[in-house]
Structure 1
Amino acid sequence: MNIATPTLSPGTHEIDVDGVRQVFHVHGAGPVCVAHSGGPGIGWEYLRMPALERHLTMVYLEPVGTGASGRLADPRNYRLDTYVRFLHAVVEHLGLPEVFLLGHSHGGFVAQRYALEHGDRLSGLILFATSPVTGEEFWAAAMASVGRFPELHPDWPEAAEMPGAFQEALAAADDDAYTGALRRILPLYFADYWARESEFAAMRGAVRAWIDPMRGEEPAPFDVRDALGSLAPPALVVTGAHDFICGTRWAHMLHDGIPGSRLTVLEGSGHMGHLEQPAEFTDVIARFVAETRP
């Protein structure tokens, strides 16, 4: 399907979804790509991709429960189907027959569920540093990586604090504690944060987080492996070779499960490839969009 490049007003917008405010931000020019950040509960700003905005009109959601978006009356409703519903409301509001969708980390879980339910609305699906499954094996692998982190960075004293700090982040009980804990453990999410601290320190100091009362937990662990074969939109999987939580094992699982998907491994990145290798990240997505969009 041919879709016209839309003209969307840059800046901050909001819509009402069942009485709850949904905020999103528009930047850039070109085909429209809606971006859903991770966490759950991480502020959208860390996912800002200025280089990609030279190729795409980026529509960044502030996920419900974060930032200026509204809060749900019943905290038990912070579940994937809710995030999907709010995402779909934005897609519908844009009024386009199709958009590209980029989901990072937990936002990738939302994107996968969205593509399974509303694949006809997507020109393409970009799954960035995410996984088709969580559960016991996923978390065991992540915690093992956290435990090895000090050994991988013996020259940086702060690395020794990361395993304990990660446990504190998991136990954070309010927004301020969660934000502080996330800033403390942020080096875990980079291939070598301290070697490039001058580049990333401002982002570390500015990142914000809000407690998702459900902590991303569903009645059962996230698992769409059996459904990946039915995904219709063209798909691109991007991950970092040093991603401790959603690395190459899970990226290959996505790639193997989605018919015709493309896989890119950013060899110098962890979980934040858009910040660690912005030129390579931008190039692979721009090529995917150009080759996918008629």
Structure 2
Amino acid sequence: MTHQDPLSPGTHTYRVAGLTQRYHVHGSGPVCVVHSGGPGISWAYLRMPMLEEHLTVVYVEPIGTAWDSRLPSHPHGYTRERYSGFLAALISRLGVGKVHLLGHSHGAFVAAYHALHRSEQLAGIMLYEGAPVTGPEHAAEAGRMLEAFAAKHADHPELPGVLAAFAAMPGICNDEQTEAVAKGVLPSYFADFWGEEERYGPLRAAIRATYISGLDEDLAPDTIDDRATLKNLTIPALVIVGRHDVICGVRWARELDDLLPASDLLILENSGHLGHVEEPELFASAVRQFVTETNR
């Protein structure tokens, strides 16, 4: 479907740099562009209906997650610079001047990069379950948090499956394995998945994922350490984290908040990695307030 208005509700498709770019518009109000995580997880898990009641939410479908948006070098080449370049084209296409950018998980790393390199497009950023670094230090902290999760649920019959999914991560090499691992680890991404499985189970079943390697075209890791540069980022920022997040937890959120000169920190006490699902009212209220205040 072709839309004359780039912010009309529904799915929008256009071509850029030889690839198909899609985005999905829901709600009304100030514009908030949303970049999902993974990399390679389909955008739909990040739908935020309560936020859509107050904002025009533009959900980006990151390149590589659909067959017609894959780079010639797929599954390699999906660097932050590449994602940011496609974001820049999309924001320009919206034609509304500066927007707010919310990135979740890997999308938070992309959002930070975009703010550092293309801040003129942004009125503010929301780093939701992000971190200032990747690599061994980040992996060690995630391992520590996973050990705590395992100790807490030591007697649960599904715990071995979750741990096996984590162990399979380094060997992922195709879409099917990526999706299976994403679904396998998901119980650890909630504060209490098994206690509310009826509520969260449908999201787990609906997850779709594409294998993206995390390497550039030359098969080198797209390593991240934003500690030095984030200190100079002056646009308003909101850092959001779930108290029980095992992947990008409170340690990293506090560090982001300390590094950023103009930031606020929200800790969702009853959430893991998916606070927009676990505590949607509090999450939406904080984002809405941040957008409203920074728009002034």
Is 1:204 equivalent to 2:178 in the alignment?
no
Corresponding residue for residue 162 of structure 1: 162
Alignment of 1:111-260 (within 5 A): 111-214=111-214, 219=221, 221-260=223-262
Closer, same or farther in 2 for the Cα pair 1:221/1:7, shift >3 Å? closer
Alignment of 1:20-31 (within 5 A): 20-31=19-30
Q: Deviations over 1:8-28 (max 9, x none)?
A: 210000121111111100000
Gaps of 5+ in 2: none
Corresponding residue for residue 263 of structure 1: 265
Aligned-pair distance for 1:67?
Answer: 3.0
Distance 2:87 2:261 in 1: 24
Is 1:276 equivalent to 2:264 in the alignment?
no
Corresponding residue for residue 36 of structure 2: 37
Aligned-pair distance for 1:219?
Answer: 4.1
Aligned-pair distance for 1:7?
Answer: 8.1
Letter in 2 for 1:172: I
Corresponding residue for residue 3 of structure 1: none
* 2:6–2:12 Cα contact (<8 Å) kept: no
Aligned-pair distance for 1:135?
Answer: 1.2
Letter in 2 for 1:134: T
Aligned-pair distance for 1:215?
Answer: 5.7
Corresponding residue for residue 48 of structure 1: 47
Corresponding residue for residue 89 of structure 2: 89
Distance 1:119 1:141 in 2: 30
Is 1:73 equivalent to 2:75 in the alignment?
no
Closer, same or farther in 2 for the Cα pair 1:40/1:114, shift >3 Å? same
TM-score of the pair, normalised by structure 1: 0.94
Aligned-pair distance for 1:273?
Answer: 0.4
* 1:62–1:68 Cα contact (<8 Å) kept: no
TM-score of the pair, normalised by structure 2: 0.93
Secondary structure of residue in 2 paired with 1:157? coil
Distance 2:26 2:171 in 1: 35
User: Aligned Cα RMSD in Å?
Assistant: 1.7
* 2:215–2:222 Cα contact (<8 Å) kept: no
Aligned-pair distance for 1:154?
Answer: 3.3
Count of residue pairs brought into register by the alignment? 289
Distance 2:171 2:23 in 1: 29
Aligned-pair distance for 1:225?
Answer: 0.7
Aligned-pair distance for 1:56?
Answer: 0.7
Percent of matched pairs sharing the same residue: 45
List structure 1 runs of 4+ shifted beyond 6 angstroms: none
Distance 1:281 1:124 in 2: 16
Bigger shift: 27-36 or 216-225?
216-225
Gaps of 5+ in 1: 1-5
